[in-house]
Structure 1
């Protein structure tokens, strides 16, 4: 038995997560890909946000023989996190489309890595119709009911550099997909005694401002004063924002809350902002 060497890997990054490691992914090979693994002796390894395919170096000739008609690997990628679509850009497109990535036209980022999409992050341009020949044969009926988040296809032709024992420059074997995180407007509801006082929100980093939206009537006939960020804020698993609640006083403004709670992925609604539907993170302060 020979030693296993890397054929290729695909790493999925996400700006929402700490260290950009995209969590909760499931890489499911299509049936034709499962058959390819079985007949070629390749080894699949999945490590959180990365799938890697290995070959035995003393069986490279067998792999090259199988590549006479091209080696095609298709993976359907699901997320076990039900909030994946909330914190991910681009926004979900119509139901008959899906995000699709392959290695036919690679893009290099500023670090020299090979991306499976055009531009530094995944965009709306990466959506394709579910019925295109590229993927239609790889989808099962259940995939139309529980749709994958995206599809990855790696095609290796018989004369490809990947089909060699050359491991000195591993970068040409390492592919990447990078997702940007979505944005939300942060809306604070100041309730109870706070609703009638002269309060404002200060950004300790001096980057964000908040505007008055008036009062809202909440269930139970409770009144709340609304303050909303003037710009949308990038979503992060652990938000970096540092906002304080202050009160206007004649001599010196008083800090009431040294650090306000940050927005949560669990409290997001869609509202109209300047004529367009936007994501709103609601935060209630008693």
Structure 2
């Protein structure tokens, strides 16, 4: 691109992630399909990528040429990018992408996806495959399209929902224990005695409903001794679930993903 060229942003994509405290994804890799790479290089497009965003821009003088190739056969030309994550542990805190999601009222569009391209049966499948239209629907002339450039898209990744299982190890004798949500939103089962595979006896309580995994869980669960009058708070804020400690258990006859959280006396 020459120094005098006028740079125009065609489109941008940002990826949010429900797991992280700031709401943005981490360590993403946007890998263009071969056909997309060839097409963009032919027009001297610049593709910028970072941990959670993709941006595509071009010299203003190239817009008529791009417009002339807005169709690919019988359909609109799509710019395809496979989305990968550089964190090997991302599968613990990222739900599979099965839908493009719903639109929001801030003017940012839902990132269009090719859901068939990201099927789990594919070798080394991506998190998702972006299928970005070169010319958005409704742009019926070069003038209309060029005046509305810099289309913004957003993809939201979800975190898993798991049953939180608190495992109390150590000496808790003489106490009737209960886990209480200080906000009053989430309930827990009564404490029950269980024996671990190593023979250790523990006390266990599970959330009665799945809870979203978060980098910094907002919940404030407390361990209380209900034998005391008045009942006494033993731990004012129990630790939250870590994404790596996921197990499958049968809870009330149903296979359930469980997060184990160990608490020692």
Coarse TM-score class (shorter-chain normalised): 0.7 to 0.9
Residue matched to 2:36: 33
Give the drift of 1:64: 2.7
**1:273 paired to 2:251:** yes
Counterpart of 1:227 (choices 205, 214, 232) is 205
* 1:60-91 superposed Cα distances (whole Å, 9 cap, x missing partner): 223234436454311111112334333334xx
- Conserved 8 A contact 2:118-2:125: no
Deviates more, 1:69-78 or 1:240-249: 69-78
RMSD across aligned C-alpha pairs, in angstroms? Answer: 2.9
Residue matched to 2:116: 128
Residue matched to 2:49: 46
- Conserved 8 A contact 1:99-1:149: no
- Conserved 8 A contact 2:159-2:212: yes
Residue matched to 1:111: 106
- Conserved 8 A contact 2:28-2:50: no
SS class of match (2:22): helix
Counterpart of 1:165 (choices 127, 140, 146) is 146
- Conserved 8 A contact 1:214-1:226: yes
Distance 1:180 1:144 in 2: 21
Give the drift of 1:282: 0.3
Residue matched to 2:22: 19
Residue matched to 1:61: 64
For residues 228 and 100 of structure 1, do their structure 2 counterparts lie closer, same or farther at Cα, with a shift above 3 Å needed?
closer
**1:179 paired to 2:182:** no
Distance 2:126 2:176 in 1: 49
Deviates more, 1:232-241 or 1:187-196: 187-196
Gaps of 5+ in 2: none
Distance 2:168 2:34 in 1: 54
Give the drift of 1:158: 10
* 1:141-186 superposed Cα distances (whole Å, 9 cap, x missing partner): xx9421111111123259973954325x85xx11122233221111
Give the drift of 1:273: 2.4
TM-score (ref. length: structure 1): 0.78
Matches within 5 A, 1:88-99: 88-89=94-95, 92=96
Distance 1:11 1:46 in 2: 10
Distance 2:130 2:136 in 1: 20
For residues 152 and 129 of structure 1, do their structure 2 counterparts lie closer, same or farther at Cα, with a shift above 3 Å needed?
closer
SS class of match (2:247): strand
Distance 2:176 2:30 in 1: 52
* 1:123-144 superposed Cα distances (whole Å, 9 cap, x missing partner): xxx843769xxxxxxxxxxx94
More helix by share: 1
For residues 277 and 154 of structure 1, do their structure 2 counterparts lie closer, same or farther at Cα, with a shift above 3 Å needed?
same
Gaps of 5+ in 1: 93-97, 132-142
**1:282 paired to 2:263:** no
Residue matched to 2:78: 72
For residues 214 and 144 of structure 1, do their structure 2 counterparts lie closer, same or farther at Cα, with a shift above 3 Å needed?
same
